[in-house]
Structure 1
Amino acid sequence: MKQYDVIIIGGGPAGLSAGIYAARANLSAVLMEMGMTGGLAASTEMIENYPGFENGIGGPELAMQMEKQARRFGLEMVYAYVSGVEKQGDDFIVSADEQNYRARAVIFAAGAKPRYLGVPGEKEFHGRGVSYCATCDGAFFRDKVVAVVGGGDAAVEEALFLTKFASKVYVIHRRDQLRATKYVQKKAQENDKIQFVLNSVVKQINGSELVRSVTVEDVLTGSQSELPVDGVFIYVGHEPSTSMIAHLVERDEQGYVITDEQMRTSCPGLFAAGDVRHKTLRQVVTAVADGAIAAVEVEKYLSQREQ
């Protein structure tokens, strides 16, 4: 069984930042990621509010640069699906792809996954017109009509991205005002391809082989109508990927891990960083900060164990 000072679970900005700091501190560290590094940031076309990039930087490019930096400091990376984390004495056993790894500390940075609408047709047409990633799938909808469901920054930013391909983009939001920042809203309102459908919710996604329309209900009147669309992109929030450590740590009612300012959880030696953590702001910049703090605190924790 391979042994490490720290195992980092998750290769998004929080995990990569933790990896950079852990490797620089000369800890034996491995980062485990089941997909591509970068997390949700890597599926964002353009990140405009990360400091240091006057004209913004593409999400995939930022993720790639973070990974290169981590590798340069000697961080080991394993692409595997982590299926379990268990405490064994003072150490942890992490199970990934039918192998076990031992670590004296764990930084849990597994991020969050898109929340589903839970309406008829959503599961049936997933991959056949229903998507949760405009950057991944937008090019399939060239000269087609699509709907974006949601009113936050992610929804409106991805609607703007989709205008590069689609002939028309509906933005469907349950309230009378968007939740996105004023800057992002202004950009969307100035785009002729975007049409807002406010005070409305999607009740059903319709089609045969592929998506052909969405049934929309006006929340004020209860009346329903059908919008002909070829694709539906859903951005109604995220759910933290914390189930595998639920038996070890304290979580809030939404499943986010509760930590202190040192990223320490209720389980000694287990730290949490990024979108899995209970906090007020979930952005790349806060994820990176979380990861750095977690790695520094792991170093302190391991030093104290040796005394």
Structure 2
Amino acid sequence: MTSEKVDCLIIGSGPAGYTAAIYASRAGLNPVLYQGAQPGGQLTITTEVDNYPGYPDGITGPEMMINFEKQAKRFGADIRYGMATEVDFTSYPRKVIIDGKKEILADSVIISTGATAKWLGIEGEERLNGRGVSACAVCDGFFFRGQDVVVVGAGDTAAEEASYLAKLVRKVYLVVRRDEMRASKIMQKRLETLPNIEILWNTETVSLNGEEGLESVLVKNNKTGAETLLDVTGFFVAIGHKPNTEIFKGYIDMDETGYIKTIKGSAHTNVQGVFACGDAQDNVYRQAITAAGTGCMAALDAERFLMEREVEVIADDILEIN
């Protein structure tokens, strides 16, 4: 196995990783960024981005990520294909294995591995992703103003997505698999006050239909077996996200669902010299702009950490000489 020593290693791309690379490069940290399994992150499967400042006419997700990458490269970031497959944070420098065959020894590590939306795995879901199918109402709800949509889920996320969409669209069908919701009582009360939300209890999605875009959704009552075709143009999956943090378990403190815990007001984790940003540590906002903001925080924290460590090393050397 080959080995390489770096000052700053960034694991994962997307708005958080690329922003961290921009700031780390400008700070002279010579960052090396491995893009991961999905270079550019979740935005690469998003068609239109209209809510990111600086793009008055909007931009597609893939185009935005290409711009982020180009900007990081302009300042000297070393951006590579590859995926972190194993880590060892028990020693310093921190050890990260790439693709199971290369060892990186890093004085600082920035985790920006993101999170992946959970999907239903039904007919038409993948094919129509970005063309009526979404996992983020806040990101894409604007495009469905005055239209009819479906939200699938029974927890607080689904209730929040349905409530948000109800302010924009004509009607929201909330598809719930059982005869009750897991959402908090206050969230359920909010749903009851919104007249354009119809809850379909004991209902599951059978298929998503349409060629160029979503045209209808076939649902089935799992008690009676009766099927209903809903004429909708939007389908929002709100059954949760899974943070891509599996390889860090045992080293990094996480919550019960796998989101990395950072020290309040910073990107610091419980491991010295290891920082986290973006959706890998954010289970609340999950927006491109908030991811970019925490990417900036992680790079600045890494810069300060390395500067302080350098001062400590110099001080130790002086003590040894004396």
Pairing 1:29-68 to 2, within 5 Å after superposition: 29-68=31-70
Q: 1:133 to 1:273 in 2, by over 3 A?
A: farther
SS at 1:3's partner residue?
Answer: strand
Equivalence for 2:252: 249
Equivalence for 1:179: 161
Equivalence for 2:81: 79
Contact 1:83 1:95 in 2 (8 A): yes
2:277 to 248, 253, 273: 273
Equivalence for 1:20: 22
Q: 1:227 to 1:78 in 2, by over 3 A?
A: farther
Amino acid of the structure 2 residue aligned with 1:189: R
Q: 1:149 to 1:46 in 2, by over 3 A?
A: closer
Hey, what's the Cα distance between the residues in 2 that align with 1:73 and 1:39? 21
2:111 aligned with 1:108: yes
Pairing 1:204-243 to 2, within 5 Å after superposition: 205=206, 214-217=218-221, 224-227=225-228, 235-236=237-238, 237-243=240-246
SS at 2:169's partner residue?
Answer: helix
Contact 2:139 2:287 in 1 (8 A): no
Gap runs ≥5 in structure 2 = 176-197, 209-215, 313-322
Deviation at 1:35, TM superposition (A): 3.9
- For each residue in 1:238-285, what CA deviation from the matched residue of structure 2 results, as whole angstroms up to 9, or x when unmatched? 111111101111111121100022200111111000001145322111
Deviation at 1:150, TM superposition (A): 6.9
Equivalence for 1:11: 13
Amino acid of the structure 2 residue aligned with 1:94: V
Equivalence for 1:203: 204
SS at 1:85's partner residue?
Answer: strand
Deviation at 1:154, TM superposition (A): 4.9
- After the TM superposition, which of the residue ranges 73-82 and 49-58 deviates more from structure 2? 49-58
Equivalence for 1:188: 169
Contact 1:14 1:274 in 2 (8 A): yes
Contact 1:215 1:224 in 2 (8 A): no
Hey, what's the Cα distance between the residues in 2 that align with 1:249 and 1:195? 39
- For each residue in 1:116-170, what CA deviation from the matched residue of structure 2 results, as whole angstroms up to 9, or x when unmatched? 44xxxx3xx5xx53328723xx4xxxxxxx8x58784357467x49x9xxxx975
2:287 to 272, 276, 283: 283
Equivalence for 1:293: 297
Hey, what's the Cα distance between the residues in 2 that align with 1:279 and 1:104? 28
Deviation at 1:3, TM superposition (A): 1.2
Q: 1:131 to 1:89 in 2, by over 3 A?
A: same
| % same residue | 30
Q: 1:189 to 1:291 in 2, by over 3 A?
A: same
- After the TM superposition, which of the residue ranges 77-86 and 42-51 deviates more from structure 2? 42-51
Hey, what's the Cα distance between the residues in 1 that align with 2:82 and 2:287? 25
TM-score by length of 1: 0.75
Hey, what's the Cα distance between the residues in 2 that align with 1:258 and 1:30? 23
Deviation at 1:49, TM superposition (A): 2.0
Hey, what's the Cα distance between the residues in 2 that align with 1:134 and 1:96? 30
Aligned positions, number: 272
Contact 1:2 1:102 in 2 (8 A): yes
Gap runs ≥5 in structure 1 = 139-145
Q: Which has the larger Rg? A: 2
Equivalence for 1:131: 126
Q: 1:46 to 1:269 in 2, by over 3 A?
A: same
SS at 1:130's partner residue?
Answer: coil
Amino acid of the structure 1 residue aligned with 2:242: E
Q: 1:116 to 1:186 in 2, by over 3 A?
A: same
Equivalence for 1:258: 261
Hey, what's the Cα distance between the residues in 2 that align with 1:149 and 1:282? 14
Deviation at 1:14, TM superposition (A): 0.3
Amino acid of the structure 1 residue aligned with 2:161: R
Q: 1:259 to 1:86 in 2, by over 3 A?
A: same
SS at 1:131's partner residue?
Answer: coil
Hey, what's the Cα distance between the residues in 2 that align with 1:295 and 1:52? 22
Q: 1:248 to 1:131 in 2, by over 3 A?
A: same
Q: 1:149 to 1:269 in 2, by over 3 A?
A: closer
